[in-house]
Structures are given as structure tokens and as C-alpha cells.
């Protein structure tokens, strides 16, 4: 195996609470809503509460909590999110169901939820015959909870939270005409029972939502041990969700991770350090889920306000990754990848020795790949042009000179890694 090949040495195991991992992934996905940041978590809690009134056992209720939370893992686009909250049914909804099912299958602990995710926008009367009766109810419950939350959000756009208590019949009445076609009559009856409780509505408010979810998860011990392959699969699943947000970010995270792994191989980093940094590279842009599509795909220069909005994505990434991979440096490396050695970077404006060696590697790989990739405002740059731009950055004291010299001496191999699309 040469220095440019992937090192297969294991990172080691990680013990996780699957419910909290689902919650963290959901919070990242909820960034896509931009203004509405809690849709997935509310759908999960509504699924759990309705399943309680249906008499389902604790294990099944918790299955529904997670299924509801991660049901929209195929939604990376703010435009798609808007369509899904504007319309009861949308002809394009199946696309994100297919993507979400594929994403969930790629991470083994989420694979049991893939069928529910795949069909969560199917009408009750049109669910495929190959699904068993229980799976049909599971997937339709997610659809019902999802549409209920859309109706609730529409009402709250013009009303205060407390006003839903007097409007519960009005809101469920908007769904009633679709019972028997879009929604199962039995599941809708469970919703009608659940909405009678004041706590049902209050728990859906942001002030109480996470507390209600964590209290529910406390009654369910589902710690699982992940091996190295599982940890990488989780990182790759989230990175695929990020990269699916825009055709111009497609494969960006994977290629930055590949570049990082190659460069740390040339630097003779120990295997565990290489794998940790690769994970940070995979997920360094998870905060961009919160960036509106029109900014990421803008063909011209960003306005001052658009630029300022972009500046927040490293810290959004840090919040997600701190929760997903506690007690590791992954979150900090990802949060600092836009810092520059001369202090001109963001979000902290750090300089010199404040920026550690691993962050410097991630930063130079991110810059190299971004320049190699086609963007909305320019075509892919040839390797010589990439080197010219980075040479000026080195002259300005922005990037590490020793790392740039290493990139320069291996530029052709690294360029092929950066532009690979498969």
C-alpha cells in the first residue's frame, strides 16, 4: 500500500445511544427549514404520542419516535422543504423519500427505518401490497404526523402558541377530509385522542420539545456499539445529505475527506489520527444545511448580507458534531476550517499557533478541492490555476507553507482525487 492509498487500520469502537444520535441528525436536518428548525423532532414526538393512544408497546413507540425524527433525511434542499410545507400532497415528494431510504440503509442502525422513510408520502389507499399491515401503519403514521405538523405550523404563522388549544378541532378538521384516502381511519382516531391533552400541544413548542424527547428516550435503553466501519458509515451518510443540497456541493465532502486522508498519509500521521481527521473532513460543512439554496447556487458575487449568513456555517457544524461525536476533536477541527494563519479567517479570526496542525491540513484540502470543483460562478479550474491561487494565499500568510509545498509536489495525484465524481 502506497502513501496515497486508504489506510484500513481501525479507529476503535464507539458506544452510542441510538435515540440521541437520531435526535442530533434530525437537528442537523432541521437546519434545512431555515426558519422552521424543529419539524423532524415534532413529527417524531407526535408519532410517539399517537402510538401511545393506539396502545402500541414501548419498543414500537420508540421505533416510531426515531422513524418520525429521521423521516426527512432525504431533504437537503430548502426549496424542497418549502414545497413540502406548502402543499398537502406534492408530486415531487417521492424523490426525497427514495433518497432518504437510501441514506438510512447506508448506516446499519438506521436501516430498519428505511421502508417507513421510503413510503412516508404514499397515500394510505395506495401503499404497496408487498408491505405487511404493521409496516403500512408505521409509514402512514409518519405521513399523518408530518401533515399534521404542517397544518399546525400554518396556523401558528398567524397565531400565538397558546391559541392552538382552542383551535384543535379546526386543525384536525383540515385533515379529516383525507381520512380513508391519505390517512388510515384508525391512526386518525389516535390523533383525535392525543390532541385532547394540553401537554400534547405544549410539548411541540421549542421551549419544551427537546425536554419531552429526552424524557421519552430515558425510558428506552438502546445503547449500541459501533465499530470503525459503522462510524465511517454514519459520517458518510450525513456527508451525502449535505452534498445532496446542491449540485455544486455534490461530492465535495467526500473528496475533501479523500484529500485529507491522502495528505495525512504523506505526513505519516498515525492511523487513528488520520481516521479522526477524515471524519472531520467528511462533516466539515454540515452547517451548510442551514444555508438557503439560492445562496449556495448564486452565479455571481454574494451580497453583504448573504456573505454574513454564510459565515455562520462553521459554528452550526460545531454544534452538530459536538453532539454526534463528543469527547473527540472532530467538532473543533470542522469548526475552524475557515481560519487563516494571518488572522483573516473566520469565525474566530485565529492566527499562527492558535490553529493546530490538523486544522491546517483540513483547511488546505478544503481550499484545494473547492478550487478544483465546478462552482455556480465559474467552471472547474485546471491544476496550474489552482496552484497559482494557492501560491498567492501562501504569500499572504493565509495557509501553511510546508503543507502547500507538499501539495505542490503531489499536485497531479491530488488533483485527480479532488475531481473524482464516482
Q: Report the 10 Å Cβ neighbour count for 339.
A: 23
The kind and range of the H/E element at 418 are: helix 411-419
Q: Distance between CA atoms of 311 and 40, rounded to whole angstroms?
A: 25
Where does 191-328 show beta strands of DSSP type E?
223-226
Burial string for 191-207 (b: 16+ CB within 10 Å, else e) reads: bbebbeeeebbbbbeee
Nearest to 413 by CA among 249, 280, 266: 266
Name the catalytic one among 245, 288, 318, 340: 288
Query: Largest Cα–Cα distance of the chain, in whole Å?
Result: 70
Q: What is the spatial distance between Cα 338 and Cα 333, in angstroms, rounded to a whole number?
A: 10
Q: Exposed, middle or buried: residue 255 (CB in 10 Å: 0-12, 13-18, 19+)?
A: buried
Indicate if 288 belongs to the active site: yes
- How many other C-beta atoms are found inside a 10 Å radius of the C-beta of residue 73? 30
Helix (H, G, I), strand (E, B) or coil at 177: helix
Q: Which residues are catalytic?
A: 288
Amino acid at each position: 500500500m502506497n502513501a496515497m492509498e486508504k489506510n484500513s487500520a481501525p479507529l476503535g469502537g464507539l458506544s452510542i445511544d441510538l435515540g440521541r444520535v437520531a435526535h442530533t441528525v434530525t437537528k442537523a436536518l432541521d437546519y434545512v427549514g431555515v426558519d422552521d428548525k424543529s419539524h423532524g423532532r415534532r413529527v417524531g414526538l407526535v408519532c410517539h404520542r399517537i402510538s401511545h393512544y393506539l396502545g402500541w408497546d414501548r419498543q414500537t413507540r420508540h421505533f416510531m419516535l426515531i422513524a418520525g425524527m429521521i423521516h426527512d433525511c432525504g431533504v437537503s434542499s430548502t426549496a424542497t422543504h418549502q414545497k413540502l410545507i406548502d402543499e398537502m400532497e406534492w408530486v415531487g415528494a417521492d424523490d426525497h423519500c427514495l433518497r432518504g431510504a437510501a441514506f438510512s440503509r447506508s448506516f446499519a442502525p438506521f436501516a430498519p427505518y428505511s421502508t417507513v422513510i421510503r413510503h412516508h408520502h404514499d397515500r394510505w389507499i395506495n401503499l404497496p401490497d408487498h408491505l405487511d399491515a404493521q409496516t403500512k401503519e408505521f409509514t402512514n403514521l409518519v405521513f399523518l404526523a408530518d401533515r399534521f405538523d404542517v397544518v399546525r405550523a400554518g396556523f401558528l404563522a398567524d397565531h400565538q402558541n397558546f391559541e392552538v388549544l382552542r383551535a384543535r378541532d379546526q386543525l384536525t378538521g383540515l385533515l379529516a377530509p383525507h381520512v380513508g384516502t391519505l390517512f388510515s381511519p384508525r391512526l386518525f382516531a389516535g390523533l383525535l385522542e392525543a390532541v385532547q391533552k394540553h401537554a400534547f400541544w405544549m410539548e411541540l413548542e421549542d421551549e419544551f420539545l427537546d425536554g419531552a424527547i429526552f424524557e421519552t428516550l430515558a425510558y428506552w435503553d438502546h445503547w449500541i456499539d459501533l465499530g470503525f466501519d459503522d462510524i465511517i458509515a454514519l459520517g458518510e451518510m450525513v456527508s451525502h445529505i449535505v452534498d445532496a443540497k446542491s449540485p455544486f456541493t455534490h461530492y465535495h465532502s467526500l473528496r475533501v475527506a479523500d484529500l485529507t486522508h491522502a495528505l495525512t498519509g504523506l505526513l505519516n500521521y498515525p492511523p487513528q489520527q488520520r481516521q479522526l481527521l477524515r471524519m472531520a473532513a467528511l462533516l466539515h460543512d454540515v452547517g451548510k444545511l442551514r444555508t438557503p439554496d439560492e445562496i449556495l447556487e448564486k452565479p455571481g458575487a454574494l451580497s453583504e448580507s448573504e456573505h454574513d449568513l454564510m459565515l455562520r456555517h462553521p459554528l452550526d457544524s460545531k454544534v452538530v458534531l459536538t453532539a454526534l461525536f463528543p469527547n473527540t476533536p472532530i467538532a473543533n477541527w470542522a469548526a475552524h476550517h475557515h481560519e487563516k494563519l494571518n488572522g483573516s479567517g473566520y469565525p474566530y479570526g485565529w492566527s499562527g499557533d492558535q490553529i493546530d496542525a490538523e486544522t491546517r491540513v483540513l483547511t488546505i484540502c478544503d481550499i484545494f478541492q473547492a478550487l478544483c470543483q465546478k462552482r455556480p460562478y465559474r467552471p472547474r479550474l485546471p491544476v496550474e490555476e489552482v496552484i497559482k491561487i494557492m501560491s498567492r494565499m501562501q504569500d499572504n500568510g493565509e495557509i501553511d507553507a510546508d503543507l502547500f509545498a507538499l501539495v505542490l509536489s503531489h499536485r497531479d495525484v491530488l488533483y485527480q482525487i479532488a475531481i473524482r465524481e464516482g
